[in-house]
Structure 1
Amino acid sequence: MSDPSLEDRWLDVFNTAHSDPAVVGTLACPSCGEHALRLVYVVHVQEPHKAMFMFWCDSCLNGLMPNTVVVPPGGIRIEPGEEDDVPDYTLVQD
């Protein structure tokens, strides 16, 4: 069986982080191995339970393409406009 792709490894780590946002800081980056992952949810007032997530590594500046999900309890919520503080990271794609 072949090894999972880099994007698949990122998706696995995202699923872990999304399921339990408290563990984000303990997870190793699939790209560089550092423990510098960040996960935030951009929440709009009219839809407080759904948000666009942004998931990246502060060390190597790689991450997943933002997408819409349900915000889990304990997820870091930011308002539109605050995502300007998110670095311009490189999208991991196969």
Structure 2
Amino acid sequence: MTDDESAVCPHCGQAMKKWRVPVNSTWPHPFFFVCFNDDCPYFIDGWKYMWEQQAAKASYRCRLDPDTGEYMPLPVWSHDALKNDIIE
């Protein structure tokens, strides 16, 4: 996948947004594609799962690594968490 290609969330079918990786992170990429759809079942179900499994008030969003094409969770602590780093 290239920088110019669009990505689609496998859980809700919505277009994923390009998200800037934090400067001090250990990830080797400048960005990931992330599903910021608040109605995505992956995000919605994550709240219950994280509470039941970890006793944590958190969820996760679907993240796509543009180099490997692998989908992985991106932990979030609120509906608005990480949205300020959306770049597209």
- With normalisation by structure 2, the TM-score equals 0.34
Name whichever structure is richer in strand by fraction: 1
Question: Normalized against structure 1, the TM-score is what?
Answer: 0.32
